[in-house]
A and B are shown apart, each in its own frame.
Chain A
Amino acid sequence: MPSATLLAQSVLSGVFSGALYALMGLGISLAWGLLRVINLAHFAFVFLAGYLVYQCIGVSGWSPTLVVLLALPLFFVAGVALQWLFARFSVDEFGSLLVTFGLTIMIESLIQWIWTADVRRMETPLSTWSVKLGPIYVPVAESILLLVTLAVVVAAWAWLRHTYVGKALRASAQNPVIAAAFGVSHRRLAFLLSGVAAATGALAGVFVAVGSPISPSQMFGSLGVVLAAVILGGLGNPLGLLAASILIGIAEALTMALTAPSWAPLVSFSLLIFILVLRPDRV
């Protein structure tokens, strides 16, 4: 039996990986729940943003603030363009899954062509800095990730719950014809939401690059666990997504501490299958 300190350290690292799952999954959950678009290319956006951050900050030495301020609007535009494609060719829910899978492979190839398939590591002062709280080490970069994720998730929740645009998005997802009769232009709101979703993906990309070494094939490694969190949390439900992500993160970390690291993926996929059997209406 591992010590209490080790278990506490595991739970903490589970919370941090859960926060990254939530930040990666937010854009997928919003687009799936409110636009009925299953955007697998969101993972490619996350990693593309991660590589751009690596290139601009890690290699070229630009200011991190500047890079984030450039990346968010850039990926917002990419999200709008993607939604324009879906609308232009009237892509349905299942079609979006296939199209974005193809797009993901294309972006993965592009990343391999530019940065090769080798693992890249960005050295920043944040990467290794941690603070000791009693017997527990708290990594600073992950703490910032957790705070940013909390802020973004709560902001997304409040946006959907308390603004006219958010209510209109939810209304339109339930009944586009009647929403239109009350003045809601689904087309314009879909562009906005898709842009916001991609921008949150870019933000996740920043933390993917800062947190650990990256390689192109990793984008498929996180796909299953993030989709599990998205479905478990409820589509289009940011707070549910955050809770589900942290739950899965902790379950994985404890599995690694108590058994072996190779068992961790089993936890998230068992959970996913379990949910799909018990609550098929969630998708």
Chain B
Amino acid sequence: MLSLESIVAGYGDAVALSDVSLTIAAGELVAVVGANGAGKTTLVNVIARLLPMRAGRLTWEGADLGRLPPQALGERGIALIPEGRRLFGAMSVEENLDMGCYRRSARALREEGLERVYGMFPILRERRGQMAGTLSGGQQQMVAIGRALMARPRLLLIDEPSLGLAPSVVQQVFEVIRTVNAQGVSMLLIEQNVALALQVADRGYVLENGRIVAQASASALLERPDIRAAYLGGV
């Protein structure tokens, strides 16, 4: 289980997260929703250890993550699908997937992992030798998901997977998120598309100006009038 207790983090003088507490149980899909600039990506970067936290406690499966370098998280079963894909653009699709299984214990499962990813996204098998930077946005998102799955995560951090994608591709991406979650992988899903995120999530947190302002089961959040008014166009 992942647990954040009273996390404070920021950039320079600016505080991006204040007193954020959050838990994800084993196998759970938790969505964190909120407007642009609410601190959602900061939250992901703190958990991935890419941004140091100023206060608070971060634990995963009972162990303190707060002092580990980002390189150590893969070994502990945590993988990242970053905002904006962040692929290695001058490397081929398959080389990007290889970087997912870079850590030693994942390398033995490379062939099996490639079959799994190509099974989910057949277009990537056709494009395996193509430079990742020349793919369409949707295909790049598939590579970013595939790269993270190659690491065999038990917890997947997914930052804005729908950003800039055509609706049909968004459907496909969320289909895969649902499937992988059903296979027992815990997930933290960050989304601006609040309706979409709460439809697939078990529970949701609403982040506003760096604070958690609401948390409940996803279905309960979808019913709340204030959430509907603020994030779902008031209908």
The chain A residues found within 8 Å of chain B, CB to CB, are 164, 167-168, 170-171, 174-175, 177-185
- Residue on B with the closest CB to A177? B50
Kindly report which residue of chain A lies nearest to residue B147, judged by CB atoms.
Answer: A182
Q: How far is the CB of A278 from chain B (nearest CB, A)?
A: 20
Given A178-B82, A182-B102, do A170 and B90 touch, yes or no (CB 8 Å)?
yes
Complex-state Cα separation, A41 to B50, whole angstroms: 34
B-side residues, CB < 8 A to A, are: 48, 50, 69-71, 73-75, 79-80, 82, 86, 88-91, 95, 98-100, 102-103, 107, 147, 151
Contacts of B88 in A (CB 8 A): 170-171, 174-175, 178-179
Q: Residues of A contacting B70 with CB < 8 Å? A: 177, 180-181
CB-defined contacts of B74 to chain A, threshold 8 Å: 181-183
Known: A164-B107, A167-B91, A175-B88. A183 touches B48 (CB 8 A): no
Contact A184 B86 (CB under 8 A): no
Question: What's the Cα separation between A170 and B75 when bound, in Å?
Answer: 21
Q: Are B50 and A182 in contact (CB under 8 A)?
A: no
Assess whether B73 is in contact with A164, with CB atoms less than 8 Å apart: no
**Cross-chain contact B91 with A174 (CB below 8 angstroms):** yes
Q: Looking at the assembled complex, report how far the CB atom of A222 sits from the nearest CB atom of chain B, in whole angstroms.
A: 29
Task: Specify which chain A residues have a CB less than 8 angstroms from the CB of B100 in the assembled complex.
Answer: 182
User: Nearest CB to that of A168 among chain B residues?
Assistant: B102
Distance (whole angstroms) from the CB of A191 to the closest CB of chain B:
15
**Given A180-B70, A182-B147; A168-B99 close (CB under 8 Å):** yes
A-B contact pairs, 12 of them (CB 8 A): A167-B91, A167-B99, A174-B90, A179-B99, A180-B50, A180-B71, A181-B73, A181-B80, A182-B151, A183-B102, A184-B71, A184-B99
Residues of A within 8 A of B82 (CB): 178, 181
Minimum CB–CB distance for A237 against chain B, Å: 11
Which chain B residues border A183 with CB–CB below 8 Å? 71, 74-75, 102-103
Known: A177-B70, A181-B80, A182-B79. 5 other contacts (CB 8 A): A167-B102, A170-B88, A180-B69, A182-B100, A184-B99
User: Which of A167, A174, A178, A181 has the most chain B CB atoms inside 10 A of its CB?
Assistant: A181
Q: Smallest CB-CB separation from B80: which chain A residue?
A: A181
> Hey, which chain A residues are within 8 Å of B99, CB to CB?
167-168, 171, 179, 182, 184
Q: Which residue of A lies closest to B90 (CB)?
A: A174
Do residues B90 and A181 form an inter-chain contact, with CB atoms below 8 A?
A: no
